[in-house]
Amino acid sequence: MKKIISILLAVMLVVSIATVSFGAVDYNPSDSYTVTNDTPTCEEAIKACNNGQLGPVQYIYFQLPEPVPGDETNTTWTNKFNSTDLGLDYCQVCIYWWSGTAGESGSWPSGAGCTWVGYKTELVDKQNRIYKATVPADGNTPLVVWNNGVNAGMDNTKEIFQYGRQLANANIEGAYPGDYDTIPEGTPNEDNMDGCIQIIDYTQGEVNPLTGFYSYGSNWYIYYGDGCYGEYSTTSPNYHGKYASCKNPEHNHPMPGDVNNDKVVDVLDVLYIQYYLIGDLPDGATFDLVTADVDGDGYISIIDATRIQRYLAHLCNIDGTKPYKEAE
């Protein structure tokens, strides 16, 4: 199993109400059970605690789990306490860390420290529900917790308690090759998880014995973009291109370049693009507009046909990366 560091909290954090002002944002960290308009983003928080500078940071990602209709009290993270104007498939995802810049350990100018629910993260890919967090890479922030902006707290008699969602504490620093089964060659930067994505693993998890609050287990992967993630860095000889290497079970990507959907990329696909461009496709021919846009620029052009030709000549992978690696 992966070696994600996960701990059971012996006690919940107890903080006093304090207001911290930075820029145009006033943050009262302990007066609400949910994320509010005043909750700062990660970047705002780090700058407020670092003399206005962002400093060394890493960018990590999280895929909000696909909602289950009518299942607000189990796997679905969006609920009436945290929903946004983007609809029920989305919520304001937050992230929390205990130590390091903007952590709980009192680095705020007021000395208050970070409290739940932490800081707002950025929805960077609505279609694939991908969120990005900017977190310190200062060597002092070993753990983070993603959550759904709802702090269930200690009082499980409150209605809000059942709507809190969070991942178990996850290591984001000191990730070396072999530390995680899901990224066997290590991360792009072995000092941290920069460029990686955390994916919920429902076979893992833990219940806080004091509160009964559940924390989901997770795995780390390399994030390729467009909702694609996998086990290997793009510079690895085991990387076969974004789509061929994608481990996202929601993605059933047709092979870019397989224009006629015959499960193989060959010279016939080049010919079909050429026929398409002159408006002379054979009668009854299958022509996939998505796979024909090989370079993903939104247009079908001779450049796409050229990319396929270069791929067939083993000059590049189908996504344009080099060196060429035969897809498995």
Are 186 and 293 contained in the same domain? Answer: no
Are 115 and 216 contained in the same domain? Answer: yes
Spatial contact of 95 and 135, defined as CB atoms under 8 Å apart:
yes
26, part of any domain: yes
Q: What is the pLDDT of residue 297?
A: 87
147, part of any domain: yes
Tens-binned pLDDT, residue by residue, of the chain (328 aa): 443 333 322 222 222 223 334 443 445 444 457 888 888 999 999 998 888 999 899 999 999 988 766 554 556 788 888 877 766 678 899 999 988 899 887 677 777 778 888 999 999 999 899 999 999 998 889 999 999 998 866 677 778 778 888 898 889 987 777 778 899 999 988 889 999 999 999 888 888 776 677 888 999 999 999 899 999 998 888 887 777 788 998 876 677 899 987 878 999 999 999 999 999 998 888 898 888 999 888 899 999 999 999 999 999 999 898 888 876 5
Boundaries of domain holding 317: 254-328
Are 63 and 118 contained in the same domain? Answer: yes
Distance CA 165, CA 33 (A): 12
Spatial contact of 95 and 145, defined as CB atoms under 8 Å apart:
yes
Are 145 and 197 contained in the same domain? Answer: yes
Are 33 and 117 contained in the same domain? Answer: yes
243, part of any domain: no
Are 213 and 310 contained in the same domain? Answer: no
Closest CA to 195 of 158, 236, 254: 236
Are 289 and 208 contained in the same domain? Answer: no
162, part of any domain: yes
Are 216 and 80 contained in the same domain? Answer: yes
Residue with tokens 């008699």: 157
Q: What's the CATH number where 304 sits?
A: 1.10.1330.10
What is the number of domains present in the chain? 2
15, part of any domain: no
Are 65 and 168 contained in the same domain? Answer: yes
Residue with tokens 């996960």: 6
Q: Percentage helix, strand, coil, to 5, in the chain?
A: 10, 25, 65
Q: What is the pLDDT of residue 123?
A: 95
240, part of any domain: no
Spatial contact of 12 and 164, defined as CB atoms under 8 Å apart:
no
9, part of any domain: no
Are 78 and 145 contained in the same domain? Answer: yes
Q: What is the pLDDT of residue 69?
A: 60
Are 189 and 321 contained in the same domain? Answer: no
Q: What is the pLDDT of residue 327?
A: 64
Are 153 and 33 contained in the same domain? Answer: yes
8, part of any domain: no
Q: What is the pLDDT of residue 1?
A: 41
